[in-house]
Amino acid sequence: MISSVRQQLIERLADGEFHSGSELATELVLSRTAVHNHIEALSGYGLEIYRVKGKGYRLAAPLSLLDAEQLLLGRSVPLHLFWQLDSTNAFLMARRERCHSGEACLAEMQTAGRGRRGRPWVSPLACHLYLSYFWRLEQGMGAVGGLSLAVGVMLAQALERCGYADIELKWPNDLYLQGRKLGGILIEMQGQIGEPCDLVIGCGINVAMPASMADLIDQPWADLQGDSAERVDRTALAQEVLAALATGMQQFEQQGLAPFIAAWGARDRFRDQAVTLLMGEREIQGVARGIDPQGNLQLELASGQIKAFGGGELSLRPQWQN
Ligand code: BTN
């Protein structure tokens, strides 16, 4: 766990300005050696910290830390905020029996962030958004179909409200920016047939990828920061995502995927493009023709026939990546 002294150091360094060793030592009531040792340890969390003689310590780039006060203001459903967790999805899943719809969890970093198909999700400190959202779907598992597509629309709209245009969606549940993966959705569920089911909707959005982490990602990626000089406000982003999920999940519960179909189609990254669909060992070539009312991918095969594909284990890659 990140100790409270280290949390305070990170908070002071977050502005990206120089802070002298003696200033930090006085503020945190530590010796200068202790400050130095804690700063060294922070590199272990992926933070790049410069030390310049006569000036002190400075982060390679400022950080936008989550502002707990702003995030908790006026909330009627619990929001759990952590510096460090194994996984925000795992946290909500473990307490799901006590959770209320709309309960959410955010962490500054994850040590075992989960991606789809058992992959890890790279989750360095204060760099991206790691958010999970709980919902109890009264209609049960049978009504979950298409949810990941609907959540994709909710996230895209939240990003658009934050000023990021041109967000695209890749079936079934990736967010794209400028042709590269910006974020992903991992929905985990628990329940019995014929009963309400518990859903944990995990959202990972790349905000500012540190150079040290970039090589760990096995596919082309994008982040919101890009080349912009203005630091992305992660708190504002989290607030928009929470608001979009709150409204969107109510709508999904009442009307299913139908109200999201057109919005999904408008952001379809691979519409009318040649793609390869991976289904376990099988590879199916075709041209992507959007989604059907159930959220299945419609693929035009070489024969001209349009076939619908659904299910959780499908993967889609543009043919130029093969
Ligand atoms: C994907 O593989 O595309 C889905 C990635 C989902 C990552 C998010 S980050 C917040 C939440 N907690 C996790 O452990 N995973 C999801």
pLDDT tens digits along 153-174: 999 999 999 999 999 999 999 9
pLDDT given at position 282: 84
Q: Calculate mean pLDDT across residues 18-24.
A: 95
What tokens does 206 get? Answer: 């790349």
pLDDT given at position 311: 60
Candidates 12, 136, 181, 271; catalytic one = 181
Tokens 């929470």 correspond to 242
What tokens does 266 get? Answer: 């408008």
Does the beta carbon of 204 lie inside 6 Å of ligand 1?
yes
Whether 320 shows a pLDDT value over 70: the answer reads: no
Does the beta carbon of 87 lie inside 6 Å of ligand 1?
yes
181 given a catalytic annotation: yes
The CA 59 to ligand 1 mean position distance, Å, reads 27
pLDDT, one tens digit per residue, over 264-309 is 999 999 999 999 888 888 888 899 999 999 999 999 999 999 999 9
Task: Tell me how far apart the alpha carbons of residues 251 and 260 are, in angstroms, rounded to a whole number.
Answer: 9
Whether 118 shows a pLDDT value over 50: the answer reads: yes
Tokens 């990170």 correspond to 10
> Which of 93, 106, 122, 130 should be mutated for ligand 1, with most atoms under 8 A from CB?
130
Q: Please, which contacts does 30-34 make with residues 24 or more away whose CB atoms are closer than 8 Å?
A: 30/5
Does the beta carbon of 181 lie inside 6 Å of ligand 1?
no
pLDDT, one tens digit per residue, over 212-246 is 777 788 788 999 999 888 889 999 999 999 999 99
Does the beta carbon of 157 lie inside 6 Å of ligand 1?
no
Q: Measured between alpha carbons, how far is residue 279 from residues 24, 116, 118, 195, 314 in Å?
A: 55, 14, 16, 30, 5
pLDDT given at position 200: 98
pTM: 0.94
> Which ligand 1 atom sits closest to the C-alpha of 123?
9
116 given a catalytic annotation: yes
Say if strands 197-205 and 56-59 run parallel, antiparallel, or are unpaired.
unpaired
pLDDT given at position 43: 82
Q: Are 155 and 185 in contact (CB under 8 A)?
A: yes
Whether 317 shows a pLDDT value over 80: the answer reads: no
The CA 105 to ligand 1 mean position distance, Å, reads 12
Does the beta carbon of 21 lie inside 6 Å of ligand 1?
no
pLDDT, one tens digit per residue, over 27-84 is 999 999 999 999 999 888 888 899 999 999 999 889 999 999 999 999 999 999 999 9
> Which ligand 1 atom sits closest to the C-alpha of 181?
3
